[in-house]
Amino acid sequence: MRITLSVIKADIGGYVGHSESHPDVLAKADECMAKAKGDGLLIDYHVTKCGDDLQLIMVHQEGEESEKIHKLAWDTFIAGTDVAKKLKLYGAGQDLLSDAFSGNVKGMGPGVAEMEIEERKSEPVIIFMADKTSSGAWNMPLYKMFADPFNTIGLVIAPNMHTGFAFEVHDVKESKKITLNTPEEIYDLLVFIGAPSRYAVKAVHSRETEEIAAVSSTQRLSLIAGRYVGKDDPVCIVRTQAQFPAVGEVLEPFASPILVEGWMRGSHMGPLMPVSVPDSTPARFDGPPRVIGLGFQLSGGILIGPRDMFADKSFNLARHQANEMADMMRRHGPFEPHRLPLDEMEYTTMPQVAKKLEGRFIDLD
């Protein structure tokens, strides 16, 4: 059976500040999704949140970039924004950068990750969703899952994974893409994806079967809007088991927290902390950045689940380490490397301050 899994998300209002989503907004989204399922447009859906981001997980047979599905998501965000406005939630409609829908939500603010697949005999998938960070945050985890044998032993001992995976990398500033094959081209790949503010892994394919293995959202809100409008808070869909990494291999990268861009005002480096859905409530300095992972078994397009994968106690140490790292980074206050480097500050107050003080800079020679 061919199905499409679409994850479309937007921050349409925070409760309180940027720390959480309001239950009434989630309930409204559920109502919109239930109607679409009743009408036969969706086979199934799951509505959830990661921090202040509303997440619509949808299964259907309309294919990728379907106008009908994108319009459903857009209308759901509009309906949720009405609720958010009534409650005067913070930044109601924050990620809806356009007034009118024009066929596709891409470039309009919401984040999108979609994959059309032939559902396998057993189809376990994990959907990662992050708050207070941006799309490049998946680069290292995806590299570890699909190219690092120290993370994924399947690359070494599973014959159907031994040929490796192909990484589609997007240059989010120049709007270009390149595909690099692992393991032969890992050094070339790392030159680019090691700079996650500019290069983001968009998709991973099995080289053995050419099937899609993972897909992420790569929107950069500030590049769309031309100014800082919140971080892009990305999502990523990963297929697991059989010709893909096992569930535990897919979760393993998050056991060693890394520093990502985001956190307070989207302008800081901070640790990506794996948490359960109820714990995706970034509060300390609006963070630290969070990632949740929901596992589903697909059955004829029905989402069997979710299982809240990071609720597992084995991620306690990672959370502890992330909090220690948060403390260490906070010590730097407004200094780099906690604060983002200059070229990442261009959408903040930096240009205004520089302009105001322009005349007071005196040439040194």
Task: Mark residues 224-263: x for contact with Mg ion by CB under 5 A, - for none.
Answer: ---------x------------------------------
From candidates 18, 49, 70, 170, binder to Mg ion by CB under 5 A: 18
11 among known catalytic residues: yes
Task: Mark residues 10-49: x for contact with ligand 13P by CB under 6 A, - for none.
Answer: -x------x-------------------------------
Give 248's contacts (C-beta < 8 A, 6+ positions apart).
none
The binder of 264, among Mg ion, ligand 13P, none, by C-beta within 5 to 8 A per type, is ligand 13P
From candidates 131, 168, 261, 344, binder to ligand 13P by CB under 6 A: 131
The binder of 114, among Mg ion, ligand 13P, none, by C-beta within 5 to 8 A per type, is none
- Comparison of 11 and 148: residue with beta carbon closer to ligand 13P: 11
- Comparison of 233 and 344: residue with beta carbon closer to Mg ion: 233
Instruction: Choose, from 30, 82, 188, 228, the residue flagged as catalytic.
Output: 228
- Shortest reach from residue 132's CB to ligand 13P, in Å: 5
E strand residue ranges, the chain: 2-10, 44-50, 53-60, 111-118, 123-131, 165-171, 176-181, 199-206, 212-216, 235-239, 259-262, 268-271, 273-274, 290-299, 302-308
Instruction: Choose, from 9, 11, 95, 202, the residue flagged as catalytic.
Output: 11
Q: Cα separation of 100 and 109, whole Å? A: 12
The binder of 168, among Mg ion, ligand 13P, none, by C-beta within 5 to 8 A per type, is none
Q: Virtual CA dihedral for 119, 120, 124, 127, nearest 10 degrees?
A: -30
Give 356's contacts (C-beta < 8 A, 6+ positions apart).
none
- Comparison of 248 and 351: residue with beta carbon closer to ligand 13P: 248
- Count other Cβ atoms within 10 Å, centred on residue 331: 9
Cα–Cα nearest to 105, from 135, 77, 137, 63: 77
